Structure 1
Amino acid sequence: MTKFKFSTLALLAVFALAFSACDNDDETPGIQEGTVNMMFEYTVDGAAFDTTQVYDINGTSVQFTIANFYVGGIELMPEEGDAIPVEGKYLLVTPEAGMQEVTTVPAGHYHMVNFFVGVDPAINSQSEDDFTSRDAEDPLAIQFPAMHWNWNSGYRFLRIDGKVDTDGDGTMDETMAFHLGTNNMLQNVSLTAHKDVEKGSNMLHMEFDLAKLFEGVDLSTDFSTHTMNNPELAAAVRDNIPAAISMMH
């Protein structure tokens, strides 16, 4: 009887070890992931952005009031493997927006980040019901200041407002307005990131330099476009967008 009890206990111990091994297998950690956030730091020729400040851009005094734009089509390029698209994600970038969450990706080294400034054609041509039914927290919903002309004209991809001193007498005498929209104003941006994404929160920190945005633009004479009324000026600013955005390390 004692021998039977001993054998039974030994058998139970073997089963316990087997189940323990299975449990340990279940606890084997999988691929670690990290959250990627994006932040755009506004500058003007290297100086901090401030709506109370007057800046010299190409020899013209400028004061900004609004400087907002949309970012979409975000794609992260790992060192190995295929690009990771972030489907349907849009950011409304403003001077006050700070860090915004983008997505969660496997930990590892990411050497490129791609995105566009603007809104893709399908969303830009949505119906009035599609637009007005968006949740208030959606960056593509109704905004103040407005980032949409109306339901059949589409979004303002980039909106820069302010004042300019056109005659150099020290007094702001004209309203500046650069409102870029329509599908052909969408602009792609590709940046070298060299970012090691680790478990937890990770940030892609970028600089948006408004002086570079207006490179080659004489703001004393060309200080306003709503795209359709001055497409050449709108295109000049659109073409400067990739140079105005850079990665900070």
Structure 2
Amino acid sequence: MKNLLLFCALVCTAFANAQVDVNLLIHHTFDGQTSVLNTPGFTRNNEEIKITRVQYYVTRISVIHDGNQETAISDDTVALINVEDGISTTIELGEVNATNLEGVKFHIGVYSPVNSGNPSLYPQGHPLAPHNPSMHWGWAAGYRFVAFEGVAGTNFSQLWQFHGLGDANYFETQDLMTATTTINGVETFEINADYKSALNGLYVSQGLISHGDNGEAKKVLQNFSNSVFYPTAIASTEDVTTPATELVVFPNPSTNGNVNITATKEISTLYVYDAKGQIISEVNLENQKETQIQLKDKGVYFIKVLDIDGVLTTRKLIY
């Protein structure tokens, strides 16, 4: 009898979850704009810049599901993100044994010992094969984890460059907790990457070049891991076809916790999430276009509005 019960338990566990095809979709932005490269914008230090190059590796991805369980995606899933290729990048994660998909996280860079391998051994077109411009630093140091470049200063005459690398700087992102959206029949984690945040704490108006595994280059890698990426969706089971509402959140960053929110379409519901993806406030606005919120604690938040057409729009907020 005990053996029968054990067998039933094992069978029930095996069939509790199902194989789900999953993708990761990264939307590229600069200060809320979908046009990232060669577009004037301002850093958090109010320096006007243009970004000319954004390339980085995404590896060792994990899917969070069914009560914070983690499933690691195969190490063979290596993505070289190049913002020049388009306004978004899709990474196919394959099938995951899960019932409730809850979030995703990943590393920036190339893991050891692959990082010290020979790029010429990979077939042409592979993310780890030689590229132009090069993403490989050298035999000892390995790959550039991030290549982030642009111009600043008067008439954009000052060049700035950050090439971050090094096994010690193989950083993992925070848990990006978000429900999936069904896109072309595949459960898809949608996240935003705001490359403005990659320059947090850095000044580039006089020009700045940092290549290597320390200093400002390391700071950029840290910013990529903890500030650049944030989730875009709360929940959706339909393919997304309606454009998002234009949403202004100001001041951002907020110095006193008071934040004004203005939208181009009427807002049905306003959500405020903390950095861990936990909801801290939900307000029915009865189709208003403007409102104000008061934050108590300093930190990173995500403002999400559901408009009258049922479209969800997200903005990152810092206090």
Name the CA shift for 1:119/1:195 in 2 (closer, same or farther; >3 Å).
Answer: same
**Paired position in structure 1 for 2:23:** 37
Q: How does 1:86-97 map to 2 (within 5 A)?
A: 86-88=73-75, 89-95=77-83, 96=85
Aligned partner of 1:248 among 232, 237, 244: 232
User: In the superposition, relative to structure 1, how do residues 84 and 143 fare at CA in structure 2: closer, same or farther (>3 Å)?
Assistant: same
The residue aligned with 1:20 is none
Q: Which amino acid aligns with 1:78?
A: H
Please point out which of 125, 144, 157 is paired with 2:132: 144
> 1:31, 1:237 → 2: CA distance?
39
Greater relative contact order: 1 or 2 (C-alpha under 8 angstroms, separation 6 or more)?
A: 1
* SS of corresponding position for 2:114: helix
Query: Which has the greater radius of gyration?
Result: 1
- Amino acid paired to 2:147: R
Which structure 1 segments of 5+ residues have no match? Answer: 1-28
Residue 239 of structure 2: aligned partner: none
Verify: 1:173 aligned to 2:157, yes or no: yes
Count matched residues: 212
Q: Please report how far the alpha carbon of residue 82 of structure 1 lies from its aligned counterpart in structure 2 after TM superposition.
A: 4.4
Partner of residue 296, structure 2: none
Cα distance in 2 for partners of 1:247, 1:45 equals 15
- Distance in structure 1 (CA, Å) of the matches to 2:56 and 2:19: 29
Distance 1:76 1:157, change over 3 A: same
Q: Deviations over 1:32-52 (max 9, x none)?
A: 432211121121222223323
Corresponding residue to 1:74 among 48, 55, 61: 61
Report SS of the residue matched to 1:114.
strand
Q: Partners of 1:68 and 1:163 in 2: how far apart? A: 16
Report the equivalent of 1:19: none
Change (3 A) 1:35 1:90: same
Greater shift after overlay, 70-79 or 190-199? 190-199
SS of residue in 1 equivalent to 2:74 = coil
For residues 133-183 of structure 1, the C-alpha deviation after alignment (integer angstroms, 9 at most, x for no partner) is: 101232111122211123333100011122121xxx3x1212221100111
The separation in 2 between residues aligned to 1:219 and 1:158, in whole angstroms, is 17
Separation in 2 of the partners of 1:233 and 1:191? Answer: 24
TM value normalised by structure 1: 0.76
Q: Distance in 2 between matches of 1:151 and 1:132?
A: 11
- Pick from 68, 83, 87: which aligns with 2:70? 83
Cα deviation 1:79-131 (Å, max 9, x = unaligned): 158421112121111222622212211352122312110111211112x3xx2
- 8 Å CA contact 1:77–1:112 kept in 2: the answer is yes
Name structure 2 gaps, 5 residues minimum.
1-14, 234-319
Equivalent residues of 1:51, 1:64 under 8 A apart: yes
Shift of residue 220, structure 1, vs aligned partner: 1.8
